[in-house]
Each structure stands twice: as structure tokens, then as C-alpha cells.
Amino acid sequence: MLLGATDTQAAQAVDVPALALARGVGVSRVDHEIYLVAVGRMARTSARLAVIALEKNASRLSPQELATGWAGVALAASMTLSPDAWGYWQKSAGALLSQDQLQWKSRIALRQGDWKSVRATIEAMPPQLRADPTWTYWLGRALAAESGASHEQAQALFARIADQNSFYGQLAMEETGRQVSIPLPGRALTPAEIAPMAANPGLRRALKFFSLRLRFEGTREWNWELRKLSERELLAAAEFARQNGILDRMVNTSERTRTEFDYTQRFPSPHNEILQPTVQNLGLDRAWVYGLIRQESRFIIDARSGVGASGLMQVMPATGQYVAKKIGLTDFVQAMLTDLRTNILLGANYMNMVLASADGSQPLASAAYNAGPGRARNWRATLNGPMEGAIFAESIPYAETRSYVKNVLANATNYAALFDNKPQSLKARLGVVRPGGAGNQLP
């Protein structure tokens, strides 16, 4: 779109869509394209005004152009989980949809329980996008919802992505009749296999960088050395990282293996002597807590985010202050957030608070921990009835939070399998997310 438009026209359609819409639809192709872009941009801030503008000039647009305009409105409405989104998608029939539009139409179709539309929309995706595990899984589910030969097609799709190291891999595994279990470890590493890692100049340089708190440089040096290592050597390098307390590199390095696995490297449980009594006292699921920590900080004790979250559990200063007051930690000061015991105490208590506010739903509570309870409440408020946890997670509007929730719960399922030494169900952990009241107004 916008080929042939002047820079001023294009900028106005994108940055000040109200002005572009006020001029109405011109006579040229470029004028029509500018108008449609402005409709889509306006829909991001006011779907109502975008709809008014589109309906006002519907007679001046071709059926294809009108459908394109509705697709722009539908995308914006979908990303706020508007109850009108599905109706807008119906009006966009015939539009050539972008990849973002195809994905959001699929998500809204999932929320509607319209499996026929889910299948049709995913099948309209470009092959590379359709092959993504997300859409491979949901296409399989859509096929499984049909009768007849579609069941075999669905099982073939599930088998294609079934593994236990990803959210949709775990869900696909369950659709094939298996649950997540820890693979048998390979041969134990010998001191002779680990010794070369300690002598490796690149890994030693990386350790020096880490000791100087130059994490970026250390990570770059470490990763560069991994490119030439065999599977056994990767496991040995991961063990060397464990011996030196560089747990994020241990996890990252161990995750690179494809034929031999050590899940104690991939899913470590450090500081358990502090964490277990804390979560046990709160009645929290230890696997969920470790799954969240693994995603939040990769066990980097002094981790600090760009927005100021600190420590193992990435506790925000305001959150730390709030939780400390609630649990009677009267001597709390912000500097204590980097203290391991304090960070775990505050983070675990906050997890317990958001879980209670979410009525026990781990997907909803994980979303609240990442994006804030206010946003999670808003997403929950869009529900008209119980929703499958996987569909709720997939339709979270924020891409970062959507990925975060999936990773936390896939992590937690692996941790549960490791801790309990028996197969685990991600589907059971996801459960259903139900509509709820306002709940506690947590920060």
C-alpha cells in the first residue's frame, strides 16, 4: 500500500489518521489506499471512529477495499480482545490478509470455538508460518474437531511437533496419548571430559568477564566457543558452567544438545534450601515457582531488568514495598531486593497473591506476574465463560507476555516431571480460565 503517495500523505495517514479520514475518499488508487491505512491506524485508538469513517464512505470503496478496511479494524479490535472483533472479521471476507491479521483472526476464532474458521484461516497462511508449532498444533486441533479421516491428519501434525521442550510440543505430545516425562540420562560425564573445558581459553575468558560483572561480554565469549563443540562436549561445558555457578550458561549450553540430555542441567533447582520451605509454607507449587524463575532471570541472582526489576524473581521496587508491608517485613529497604533470601520471600509471596487473585489459575497468575495484575484482570474481564487455558494463553494481546506464560508453564511441567519422577500433563496445569470479579487490586 501507499505506493505513489507523497511522504506527507503517508506520514499523515500513519501518524494523524483523523486528518486523513476527514478529507474523505479521493478518486485515485493512492487516495483509496491512504484512506484504508488511516482507517486501520485510527482503529488502534478508537475502533468506533474507524467504523464510522468506514461505513460513511463504504459506497465509494470497492468490495475488496471495504473488506480490507474491515480487516484493519478487526486486527485492532482483536489486539484488545474486543467483543466486536469476530464480527469485524466476518465483514473482512475477501480481503487479502497480512500474516499478523491471519494470526489474530485465528486467535479470535479459537476464542469463539469456531474450529471450521480456525482451520480455514490457518490453511490460508503462507507455508512457513503455517509450519510454526503454534499453528501446526491448532490446525491439528481443528482437524481433530472434525469427524472421519481428519483424525489421522491431525495425529500426523501432532507427531510432527511432539516434544517436551516447548509449550506446543508438550500439548501435541498429549494429543498423541503421551505425557511429559524426563528422558533417561546418557552416560555420566567423567572428570576427563570436563577437564578440557576448564582449560579452554575462550571459556576461561568468559569466566573472567563474568567475575568482573561484564555479563554481555562473558556471554558472547562463552557462546562463541560453543559453536565447535560436540554433544558430549556441550554437556561437559554445561557442567563446567554449573561448577562455576554460571547457571544461565549451563541451561543455555545444555539446551543445544539434540541426542543426549541432562535435565538437571536444563532445569536446575538452586537455592532449594531457601525456596522449598518458603513455598511449602505458602502452599505454592514448587515446580511453578522454579518454572517462573527460570524464565524471569535464568537464575542470575543480581539480574536487573530495564524497568528496574531485581534479583532471582525480578521483583519491582513498588511490588517489593507492597509485599513487604503485607507480610510484616518492617525493616525492608529497596536495596534488600538483591538479597537472595529476601528476593525469594517477596517473589514467592507475590506469586501467592496473584494466584489467589486469579482463583488458582496458573496461566492467569503468570500473566499477572509478567504484565501486571491490572492487565490480567482486563484480559479476564473479556471472558464470557470458561476458556481453555491454552486458548487464553495464545490470545494474550502482549506478545512478550504470551511467550512468557507459555514458557513458564512448559518449564513448570518439566520441573514437575523432574521433581515427582512421573509423567505430567501440561493440559491439566493450564486448566480453564474462568470469568471473575475485580479481585484484589495488587500492584
Answer for the pair 185, 262: CB distance below 8 angstroms, yes or no. yes
Give the residue extent of every domain in the chain.
1-96, 191-260, 272-433
Rg (CA), the chain: 25
In whole angstroms, what is the distance from residue 176 CA to residue 143 CA?
14
CATH of segment(s) 191-260: 1.10.1240
Length of the chain: 443
Residue in the structure block whose three cell numbers are 536446575: 268
User: Of 255, 257, 253, 231, whose CA–CA distance to 244 is shortest?
Assistant: 253
Whole-structure pTM value: 0.94
User: Of 389, 433, 422, 421, whose CA–CA distance to 408 is shortest?
Assistant: 389
Helix axes 272-282, 286-296, angle to 10 degrees: 130
- Give the per-residue pLDDT at 307: 87
Compute the C-alpha angle 44/45/48, nearest 5°.
Answer: 95
User: Of 327, 390, 317, 392, whose CA–CA distance to 353 is shortest?
Assistant: 327
191-260 and 272-433 share one fold: no
| CA–CA distances in Å: residue 100 to residues 17, 104, 378, 414 | 21, 6, 22, 31
Answer for the pair 111, 395: CB distance below 8 angstroms, yes or no. yes
Q: Which residues of 246-257 are buried (b: 16+ CB within 10 A; e: fewer)?
A: bbbbbbbbbeeb
- Give the per-residue pLDDT at 13: 67
With a CB cutoff of 8 Å and minimum separation 6, the contacts of 201 are none
User: Of 234, 243, 242, 307, whose CA–CA distance to 268 is shortest?
Assistant: 242
Answer for the pair 242, 194: CB distance below 8 angstroms, yes or no. no
Asked if the 272-433 domain carries CATH number 2.40.270.10, the reply is no
Residue in the structure block whose three cell numbers are 491506524: 41
In whole angstroms, what is the distance from residue 115 CA to residue 100 CA?
19
Cell numbers for 238, please give them: 554445561
Answer for the pair 91, 67: CB distance below 8 angstroms, yes or no. yes
In whole angstroms, what is the distance from residue 200 CA to residue 213 CA?
20
Q: Which H or E run includes 369?
A: helix 362-371
Indicate if the alpha-carbon torsion angle 77, 82, 85, 87 is positive or negative: negative
One digit per residue, the tens of pLDDT, for the chain of length 443 reads 555 556 666 666 667 787 778 777 765 777 788 788 888 898 999 999 989 889 998 888 999 999 999 999 999 999 999 999 999 999 999 999 999 999 999 999 999 999 999 999 999 999 999 999 999 999 999 999 997 778 999 999 999 999 878 999 999 999 999 999 999 888 999 999 999 999 999 999 999 999 999 999 999 999 999 999 999 999 999 999 999 999 999 999 999 999 999 999 999 999 999 999 999 999 999 999 999 999 999 999 999 998 899 999 999 999 999 999 999 999 999 999 999 999 999 999 999 999 999 999 999 999 999 999 999 999 999 999 999 999 999 999 999 999 999 999 999 999 999 999 999 999 999 999 999 865 567 87
Residue in the structure block whose three cell numbers are 519491582: 316
For 110-168, where are the E strands, in sequence order?
none
